Amino acid sequence: MSTANFQTIPTLDYSLTADPDSRAQFISQLRSVIINVGFLYLSNTPVDRDLISKLKHECIPRLFGLPQEEKDRIKMANSPHFLGYSRMGMELTKGEVDWREQFDFGTGCEEERLLKNGDPQYWNVYGPSQYPNEEQLPGFKALFETYLAQVSTLASDFLRLVSEALGLPPDTLDQFYKTENRMHLSKIVKYPVQRESRQGVGAHYDGAMLTFLLQASEEHRGLQAQNLRGEWIDVPPKPDTFVINFGRSLEFVTQGVVRATSHRVLAPPLDSQTPRYSVPFFYSGMDLEVRVDESVLKIPPEILKLRDQRGVLPETESINYSEYAHDVAGKVYLVGRAKSHPDVAERHYPDVFKQLFPNGMPLHGIAY
Ligand SMILES: O=C(O)CCC(=O)C(=O)O
Ligand SMILES: [Fe+2]
């Protein structure tokens, strides 16, 4: 199947997992993909198609069409949990502006967690989301929460398939997700046609073990993944699929068997008539105290051999999340969020901000 110098992204059919014979075929395809590509389309998932259609065609355009003052009312700078609305130009990747407007939402965590003196600051990364007023966007909160619940279940089931593809018992990776009250992060993103630069999102790795991406504008390319030769390969929207990719935490615990693949988004070209919308869901609610570098899994030699045959992962243009080599997952998450959103960090985590930005606020990270 796919090789490490992939030119296209493979599609896996989730319905194969329903039957024991075809399930084995699925697991073997998944094994090749996690080792060599680190990106796939997943078709025939149980996530409700009507729900997705409503989200794409009704909710998302209305969400971005809200009056600016209602969006600013729920701005991310209000939230120590890095949840809420970010205007265009408020987010950085590798210190450069990402030209996207977005809402960040978390799953669960309706209540604020009350921290006591001495509790680690990163416990505060979980907390309530900020939703627009119900009157302004009737039904949106309920619909999006249902969507997130369905994708969370899919992600948790998919993680078991990954364990099996690694030649391990299905529940092996569940050990990193034991805490009851955890939060997964999702975003609803708009990449407008714009003139400043083509950086929709700069080259990066994701941190969470799994990302489930809904490409919500069928007419737009833009997402690209980097193969072993360093070439940027298009990941165009494919109807009725999710794009799945794997993050640095999973790469660490699997001794590099699973590829965390560098990716980026190009903003729509100037002759586009429409913006590009997407909805990434990060299976990010790992136990905050986990040190992934100390939790490396014992992987059967025949699987390690496949990794070695793939070859060494090259330097890519992505550099982020190397902190997993020495920090607990909660700290890595906090630092990652603070680098992307310095204005939020300055307000809620001033000492983290000072460490990361000793020369003060980067040009475009100023709180509005
Ligand atoms: O919008 C997309 O298609 C991907 C976004 C992404 O890679 C991210 O937010 O981590
Ligand atoms: Fe990403």
Question: What CATH number did the domain enclosing 29 receive?
Answer: 2.60.120.330
Which one has a higher pLDDT value, 47 or 4?
47
* Ligand 1 binding residues, C-beta < 6 A: 187, 189, 201, 206, 213, 223, 263, 265, 278, 280
Instruction: Give the ranges where 201-269 is alpha helix by DSSP (H).
Output: 248-253
pLDDT at 1 over 50: no
Q: Which atom of ligand 1 is nearest to the CA of 278?
A: 1
Which single residue is written with the structure tokens 């990652």? 336
Q: Is residue 224 assigned to a domain?
A: yes
Number of structural domains found in the chain? 1
- Looking at per-residue confidence, does 65 or 271 come out higher? 65
**CA pair distance 63, 307, nearest whole angstrom:** 43
Which range is least confidently modeled, 118-127, 200-209, 315-324? 315-324
Question: How remote is the CA of residue 201 from the centroid of ligand 1, in Å?
Answer: 7
With a cut of 90, say whether residue 318 has pLDDT above it. no
Mean pLDDT of 124-146: 97
Strands of the 276-282 sheet, one edge to the other: 11-13, 39-43, 241-246, 210-215, 276-282, 185-191, 101-106, 84-86
Question: Which domain covers residue 93, as residue numbers?
Answer: 11-366
Q: Which tokens belong to 259?
A: 């590829």
For residue 308, report the distance from its CA to the centre of ligand 1, in Å: 29
Mean pLDDT of 127-133: 97
CA–CA gap between residue 14 and residue 47 (Å, rounded)? 11
What digits encode the pLDDT tens for the residues 23-34?
999 999 999 999
**Does 133 have pLDDT greater than 90?**
yes
For residue 100, give the ligand 1 atom closest to its CA.
Answer: 1
Strand partners, 97: 92
Q: Which ligand is nearest to the CA of 205?
A: 2
What is the reported pLDDT for 3?
Answer: 67
Other CB atoms closer than 10 Å to residue 17's CB: what's the count?
A: 21
Contact indicator for 253, 285 with CB cutoff of 8 Å:
no
- Check residue 360 and give left, alpha or beta (phi > 0: left; psi -120 to 50: alpha): left
Q: Is the pLDDT of residue 84 over 80?
A: yes
Indicate the length of the chain as a whole number. 368
Atom 5 of ligand 1 has which residue's CA nearest to it?
280
Q: How confident is the model at residue 194 (pLDDT cuts 50, 70, 90)?
A: confident
Tell me 303's DSSP state: H
Check pLDDT > 80 for residue 144. yes
pLDDT in tens, 260-289: 999 999 999 888 889 999 999 999 999 999
Does 301 reside within a domain? yes
